[in-house]
Amino acid sequence: MILDLKLSGALDGFEIARRLRELPSPPRIVAVTGRPREGTPEEAVFDACLMKPCPPGRLVDTVLTELA
Give the domain range for residue 17.
2-67
Cβ–Cβ contacts within 10 Å for residue 68, how many?
6
Please tell me the predicted confidence (pLDDT) of residue 37: 60
pLDDT, tens only, 18-44: 999 999 999 999 998 887 665 555 556
Residues 53 and 41: their CA atoms lie apart, in Å, by 20
pTM of the predicted structure, to 2 decimals: 0.79
Domain count for the chain, please give it. 1
Please tell me the predicted confidence (pLDDT) of residue 5: 83
Of 45 and 36, more confident: 45
In 1-68, which ranges are E strands? 2-4, 30-33, 48-51
Of 18 and 45, more confident: 18
